[in-house]
Structure 1
Amino acid sequence: MSPKELSYIEDALSHEQFLQKQCENAASAMTDMQLKQCVKQMSNKHQQIFQQFFDLV
């Protein structure tokens, strides 16, 4: 893997971690249970995407 490709993957990993953390923070502040559940699902999806990128390395 070239250094440029590795840099792209590192950026993608960072973005997915950031998005997952933002979803977790938003979900913890919500009182509507349906909306909270939706945001938690988004957080889980970002975790899955992170893992897929990580597995590439």
Structure 2
Amino acid sequence: MPKGDDILTFLAYALPVAGGLAGMIFVNLNREDFVNPVTAVALGAVMGWGLARLLRALAGRR
């Protein structure tokens, strides 16, 4: 398996996790805004998943 495939596979798992973590950090930094934590974490995870899909599409692999 080429090295590029390993990196893309790692990003497919790591970016949604990083997006969820970013959503959790956003909620904790903005306590006064009463942001729903479930929505923020889910939205961050979906954005990370979308970014991973975009990177895989740009690399020519699905």
TM-score scaled by structure 2?
Answer: 0.47
TM-score scaled by structure 1?
Answer: 0.49
Higher helix share: 1
